[in-house]
């Protein structure tokens, strides 16, 4: 998908690589492998802009986030944080969308996290707010903030309990212990674990890249399924699930969805195309969403 096909040019983040591996799909690869893809202040601002651009770009329907090297994201850049604290006594502010532009993101398009390796702190906060999480079998997940005297304040604490339940959330955040990918899948924090060869893995850069390729390939399968559906119906369906996850009652959420989205959905081109394609027994040809 060449840049000329976009309504506006893609952002140029300093510590992430943007690519377009399939129609309607944006792949964002965190690119600070020597720092385990820890995100600094510039990274938060850049990623906020990336996801804002994806939501407004008509031709894009789903995003994937992964990391380069042996980490998905090991959390905040604690060296930068320490320097800021010593100089100003404060931590640099994050954008309203939170850690990595994801942890408190209110965007309308689906986001898949492809965990290629270590996922700690803010990295875990991002996957808690993602829509789908695919993990390599060697990936590990944790919220170790209590071990550093800090607190996970990017939205993870109240959201985690809705996903895994109170006791498991308490275990995870109060002990700071690490979960394997398989355990995280059993808890409901991960959708699917993809097996990657684990003998000798994790040290050689080429091996790490192969692990990333495997898990991103599976994430692309999910992305293709999403991108092949009505863009309008995907946006509205996702919003309905989010309303319930955020704690809004079923009747109230359904009413909000109807008042805000459904009228526009029914007046759009894609619902007409979907129904007509069904009658004609052919594959639908979707238009970019205008919702």
User: Token digits for 28?
Assistant: 């964002």
Catalytic residue among 56, 145, 185, 273: 145
Q: Is the Cβ–Cβ distance between 136 and 117 less than 8 Å? A: yes
User: Token digits for 93?
Assistant: 């502010």
3-class state of residue 112 by DSSP: strand
Q: Is the pLDDT score of 84 beyond 80?
A: no
145 is catalytic: yes
Helix axes 250-257, 231-245, angle to 10 degrees: 150
CA distances to 135, 136, 155 from 204, in Å: 19, 16, 34
- Nearest-angstrom CA–CA distance, 87 and 14: 24
207 is catalytic: no
Per-residue pLDDT reduced to its tens digit, 143-168: 999 998 888 888 889 999 999 999 99
The model's pTM: 0.91
Per-residue pLDDT reduced to its tens digit, 30-69: 999 999 999 998 999 999 999 999 999 999 999 999 999 9
Catalytic residue among 57, 80, 125, 185: 125
Q: Is the Cβ–Cβ distance between 90 and 29 less than 8 Å? A: no
Across the range 212-233, mean pLDDT stands at 96
């Amino acid at each position: 998908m060449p840049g000329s096909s976009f309504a506006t040019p893609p952002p140029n983040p300093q510590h992430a690589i943007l690519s377009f591996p399939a129609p309607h799909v944006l792949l964002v690869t965190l690119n600070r492998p020597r720092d385990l893809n820890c995100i600094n202040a510039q990274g938060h601002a850049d990623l906020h802009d990336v996801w804002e651009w994806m939501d407004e770009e008509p031709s894009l329907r789903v995003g994937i986030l992964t990391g380069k090297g042996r980490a998905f994201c090991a959390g905040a850049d604690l060296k930068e944080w320490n320097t800021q604290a010593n100089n100003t006594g404060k931590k640099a502010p994050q954008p309203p969308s939170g850690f990595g532009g994801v942890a408190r993101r209110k965007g309308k398009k689906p986001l898949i996290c492809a965990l290629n390796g270590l996922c700690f702190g803010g990295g875990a906060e991002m996957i808690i707010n993602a829509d789908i999480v695919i993990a390599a079998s060697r990936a590990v997940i944790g919220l170790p903030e209590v071990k550093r005297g800090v607190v996970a304040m990017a939205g993870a604490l109240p959201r985690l309990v809705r996903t895994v339940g109170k006791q498991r959330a308490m275990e995870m955040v109060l002990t700071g212990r690490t979960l394997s990918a398989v355990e995280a899948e059993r808890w409901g924090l991960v959708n699917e674990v993809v097996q990657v060869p684990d003998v000798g893995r994790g040290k050689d850069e080429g091996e790490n890249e192969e692990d990333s390729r495997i898990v991103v390939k599976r994430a692309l399968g999910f992305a293709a399924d999403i991108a092949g559906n009505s863009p309008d119906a995907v946006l509205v369906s996702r919003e309905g699930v989010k309303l319930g996850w955020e704690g809004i009652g079923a009747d109230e959420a359904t009413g909000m969805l109807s008042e805000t989205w459904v009228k526009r959905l029914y007046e759009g081109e894609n619902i007409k195309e979907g129904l007509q394609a069904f009658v004609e027994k052919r594959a639908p040809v979707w238009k970019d969403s205008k919702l």
